[in-house]
Structure 1
Amino acid sequence: MDQIFGSYALFEAQALLVGAFHVVIAAAVTAHVLMTKREVPAAIGWIGMAWLAPVLGALLYVGFGVNRVKRRARRLMGPDRADGAQITGDMASEDPLERLKGAIGKITGQDTATGKVVAILECGDQAYPQMLAAIDGAKSHVRLATYIFRADEIGLQFIDALSRAHLRGVKVRVLIDGFGGGFFLSPAYRALRRRGVPAARFLHSVLPWKMPFLDLRLHKKILAVDGETAFVGGLNIGAENVIAKRPKAPVRDTHFRVEGTIIRQIEHEFDDDWSFTTGEDPIGSDSAREAPAVGGSTMRTIAAGPDQEVDQLILVLLSAINLARHSIRIATPYFVPDEQLITALQLAALRGVDVHIVLPAHNNHRLVAWAALPHMRPLAETGCQLWLCAPPFDHSKLMTIDGQWSLIGSANWDIRSLRLNFELTVEFYHPGLAGRLTEIIDAMRFQPITLADIDKRPFIVKLRDAAARLSMPYI
């Protein structure tokens, strides 16, 4: 009997110890959440998980809820982004574009540059030949950053071109996301390293205590060559982007070739990420073009990422939507924005702005497609025009305001792009380009999404979509 009571007492002591440990850990998580999380729903969710899922909740928070790169921008801020930089744009002007220019300058802390889009490239069919030719013609330096870099037929062409440039003395730097480029193997990264090409994997480590996990991703798509030309947009490197080859899961996209002093800003974004990843100094820009491109216009890069004190891209989008007077055009593959942006679009439609949003009829991420549907009804109710574009899956990310201002780049309209990913977009103050992109977006409209379409979904489907919406911050 004494032995039984002794065992029970030991078990009780162990239970008390485990319980005390759980309370301490959960309390620590709660304190950290309260001090660092601005969004109330996210804070409540993490605190609830910490208390209701002993140990596991705390581990998940450490893995996915703690921002380990928040201060990167302050450590690596370059001279052209120093506090007090001169920002153009008159925020008191009667001209909405001047007010938008000034507002975005204040948000980003970056002045405008000049440049022009010399080519709007459809899919890899048009973009890849020009990108490969630019690498083969490089004389000084090549910077390439991408989320996906496959070692397939197309990827091998890029690996060969980058290797040739490296062998002839060009300073080549390649940055591949640690998750999108293949978490375990990353064949393209390994192939480049075997050939001696300086390449790195962004936020990647097999050591859990060194890895900021899969939450924070480099989603930028940058190719900058000799300070003379750059390619930006949403195009990854992979055979699925070459429509003419009839891949099994084709991806349609829109990419852009730009020239002008904007190239230096694009190079700076790459250098920032390269230095953070490798600890190395930038490769320099000795041949960067300082003169404006002939026929160029006002442009500016807008970086977004969890290293920023404010959600820059969200503020830029809100500023543009709120200043719209006539039209808003949006094309995006993933549309799961937060309530601020939904409300801004509703208010724009209510004040008479012609709002059109185009989404893919076929989406390569089914959960994202389900999560997008609950957003449709409030937008449709207030007069926003919602559309599906015909297959194949369209990965283009385009936005225009009033046929005067446009935004292109790597960012989607979802929480991951707006708050978790490292993204690069470029804004343009050029009516000709905005008009052309408006035409492209309008041509994508294939099938309207009506209130009747939204309401006629079976209850079980509506329930599924509403549940999928809860995963917004994680998909």
Structure 2
Amino acid sequence: MTNHFPFLDTALTIARYALAISVTIHVLLTKRDTSASTGWIGISWLMPLTGAALYIMFGVNRVRRLAQRLIGQHHWDGRGAIAHLRQRVEGQFAPLARMMGRLTERPLLSSNAIQCLHDGDNAYPAMLEAIESAQHSVLLCSYIFRADQVGRRFVEALARAKARGAEIRVLVDGIGSGYFYSGIVKALERENIPCHRFMHSLLPWRMPFINLRNHRKILVVDGKLGFMGGLNIGEENMLRLRTKLPVADTHFRLAGPIVHQLTEAFARDWSFTCGEELDGDIYFPEPEKAGNVPMRVVTSGPDNDMEKIEFGMLQGIAMARQNVRVMTPYFLPDERLASELCLAALRGVEIDIIVPKSSNHGLIDFARDANLAPFLNAGCRVWMAKPPFNHAKLLVVDDGWSFVGSANIDVRSLRLNFEINLELYDEEVASDLAGFIDTHKANRLTHHTLDSRSTAVKIRDAAVHLFMPYL
């Protein structure tokens, strides 16, 4: 059959090759992961048109490019005011402190105080009291912020602070706090409280960002008092309410120079979301000494902070001599973090991994169970905590270094989410956290428990584990 459009066929062929070559060059110049690079290059040559479209949508890290541009435009004057409060660490953890300083480009700060608050029953009253005392500013970021009775109490407190003249900024995640409809955003808008949804859009060409979530939980009042940790805002975190699926958690009240770093983390996210720069004395007042605990904020996300929290975990575990305690709601470490834990166990370090027997995501539990045998083989002790489901994220090494915050030990948290953790070089804090973790060592997992699963369950768990990066 005669082809009446030879020019069109030639043009399409040239376009296919051009697209495949363009994707290949971009992948080679920007991607570090060889398996991901091979996959993108392969699909671009097998299906040039479809492959190029998928790569443009899901393969190009626009988040990092946007972050680099915004960070170059903003300066946050408050950072310079804390230089004289830098803390040096001696002894076992000195190399870790130096590495984290270079990695994060944030100083380890002295003269801080910390209070551990378990569950919403203890944390919410302290947070609300802080908001009620606000005179100049309140910055609030939460992955989940529900429009239930707990959420309404926060909105009312924020409205009263605004009426007193305080500057209020609220940032919620575009997925966690409702994608198609966000009741809390509507409630905040009714009070004329400035609020934005992080990376939220219903436009099809913005859909690639649906997989990138702001999982940070931050509250800063007057630039002097801060809260961070794993606690979202919702009724399920109030254990005394006895909700259908109660969630235990751990949050931290911070005072001292460290609050500047917490404010800076929020300011970056706020600027990233809406372009407004938060600066000046109402957000970055002169730091005040509050205690003697050295601390540093560590942020991570698919921007300029790629994998920094995971690198901190890797280095902390590598330096362990005696014990490592890990408490996490979701345990799906990537290959290098799993290897580091197993190698530590093999060299004689006591590794205790505490996970919930049943979390609030059944698929994650299936994937986790499929990958626990290597940890048992290496000598790690895995414990299944009793209900209620505990959402705390805690890591303690040798009763001297603690790493706490919003990051779970899974690929989503460590590669895709925007997370915030806090490292602390203090034996008293580490001892208290270690004691809390130990109270949840209820049922030790054994090889027999794993082997006794039916073949059907093993197949199910292994199949779900294949989707680990997306859970």
TM-score by length of 2: 0.91
Within 2, Cα distance between the matches of 1:179 and 1:283? 28
Structure 2: how far apart are the matches of 1:45 and 1:363?
Answer: 32
Aligned pairs for 1:309-388 (under 5 A) are: 310-388=306-384
* 8 Å Cα contact 1:81/1:110 also seen in 2: no
Deviation at 1:19, TM superposition (A): 6.6
What is the aligned counterpart of 1:109 among 105, 108, 124? 105
Aligned to 1:238: 234
Change (3 A) 1:259 1:331: same
Report the Cα offset of residue 416 of structure 1.
1.2
Whole-Å separation in 2 of the counterparts to 1:212 and 1:285:
37
> What displacement does 1:122 show?
1.5
Q: 1:164 to 1:78 in 2, by over 3 A?
A: closer
Q: 1:452 to 1:26 in 2, by over 3 A?
A: farther
CA displacement, residues 426-457 of structure 1 (integer Å, 9 cap, x when unaligned): 11111111001001111111111112222332
- State yes or no: 1:469 paired with 2:465: yes
Count of aligned pairs:
463
State the shift of 1:334 in Å: 1.1
Moved more, 24-33 or 96-105: 24-33
Secondary structure of residue in 1 paired with 2:439: helix
Contact 2:382 2:444 in 1 (8 A): yes
Deviations 1:410-431 (A, max 9, x none): 0111111111111110111111
Question: Which of 399, 402, 405 is matched with 1:403 structurally?
Answer: 399
Deviation digits for residues 352-405 of structure 1, max 9, x if unmatched? Answer: 111101111111112222222233111111111111111122110001010011
Shift of 1:20: 6.1
Instruction: Rate the CA distance shift 1:312–1:139 in 2: closer, same or farther, 3 A.
Output: same
Moved more, 116-125 or 26-35: 26-35
SS at match of 1:292: coil
Give the one of 245, 248, 254 matched to 1:252. 248
8 Å Cα contact 1:263/1:288 also seen in 2:
no
Tell me, yes or no, if the aligned pair for 2:27 and 2:40 is still in contact at 8 Å: yes
Matched, 1:30 2:24: yes
Instruction: Give SS of 1:437's match.
Output: helix
In structure 2, the CA distance between the partners of 1:112 and 1:138, relative to structure 1 (3 Å rule), is same
Query: Contact 1:203–1:211 (CA<8 Å) still a contact in 2?
Result: no
- Kept in 2, the 8 Å contact 1:88–1:102? The answer is no
- The reply to whether residue 70 of structure 1 matches residue 67 of structure 2 is no
Using the TM superposition, name which of 30-39 and 104-113 deviates more.
Answer: 30-39
Mean CA deviation greater in 172-181 or 12-21: 12-21
- How far is the alpha carbon of 1:239 from its aligned partner? 1.0
Q: What amino acid does structure 2 have at the position aligned with 1:396?
A: A
Contact 2:143 2:176 in 1 (8 A): yes
1:456 alignment counterpart: 452
Change (3 A) 1:471 1:168: same
CA shift in 2, pair 1:309/1:226, >3 Å: closer
Q: CA deviation at 1:173?
A: 0.4
For the 8 Å contact 2:171–2:196, the answer to whether it is kept is: yes
2:37 to 25, 37, 43: 43
Partner of 1:291: 288
Q: Residue 59 of structure 1: CA displacement?
A: 3.9
Cα distance between partner residues in 1 of 2:443 and 2:109: 38
Aligned mate of 2:408, from 408, 412, 429: 412
SS of the residue 1:324 aligns to: coil
Report deviation, 1:118. Answer: 4.1
Match of 1:182 in 2: 178
Inter-partner Cα distance in structure 2 for 1:57 and 1:141: 47
**CA apart distance, 1:115:** 4.6
Deviations 1:38-87 (A, max 9, x none): 112222333444455675544443333321121415424656779xx897
| Post-superposition CA distance 1:239-266 (Å, at most 9, x none) | 1111111111111111111111100110
C-alpha deviation, 1:129, in angstroms: 1.3
- The 3 A distance-change label for structure 1 pair 337 and 39 is same
Structure 2 contact 215–418 (Cα < 8 Å) conserved = yes
1:137 is aligned to 133
C-alpha distance in 2, partners of 1:29/1:468?
Answer: 30
Partner amino acid for 1:67?
A: N
Distance in 1, matches of 2:23 and 2:15, equals 12
- Give the structure-1-normalised TM-score: 0.90
Contact in 1 for aligned 2:24/2:41 (Cα 8 Å)? yes
Whole-angstrom distance in 2 between the partners of 1:308 and 1:122: 32
Deviates more, 1:401-410 or 1:197-206: 197-206
The answer to whether the Cα contact below 8 Å between 1:299 and 1:426 also exists between their aligned partners in 2 is yes
Runs of 5+ unmatched residues, structure 1: none
Contact kept in structure 2, 1:330 and 1:358, CA below 8 Å? yes
Measured in 1, the distance between the counterparts of 2:360 and 2:40 equals: 29
Q: 1:168 deviation in Å?
A: 1.7
Q: Separation in 1 of the partners of 2:267 and 2:23? A: 34
- Note closer, same or farther for the CA distance 1:40–1:457 as it changes in structure 2 (3 Å cut): farther
Q: 1:255 to 1:24 in 2, by over 3 A?
A: same
CA–CA separation in structure 2 for the residues paired with 1:267 and 1:19: 53
**Partner Cα separation in structure 1 for residue 25 and residue 453 of structure 2:** 42
1:28 Cα deviation (Å)? 3.4
Distance change in 2, residues 1:436/1:11 (3 Å): farther
Q: Structure 1 434/36 Cα, relative in aligned 2: closer, same or farther at 3 Å?
A: same
Letter in 2 for 1:244: R
Are residues 1:431 and 2:427 paired? yes
Deviates more, 1:65-74 or 1:212-221: 65-74
CA spacing shift, 1:88–1:45, aligned 2, 3 Å: farther
| Amino acid corresponding to residue 376 of structure 2 in structure 1 | A
- The one-letter code matched in structure 2 to 1:37 is K
Q: 1:424 to 1:474 in 2, by over 3 A?
A: same
Work out the CA distance in 2 between the residues paired with 1:399 and 1:432: 14
The change in CA–CA distance for 1:304 and 1:195 in structure 2 (over 3 A counts) is: same
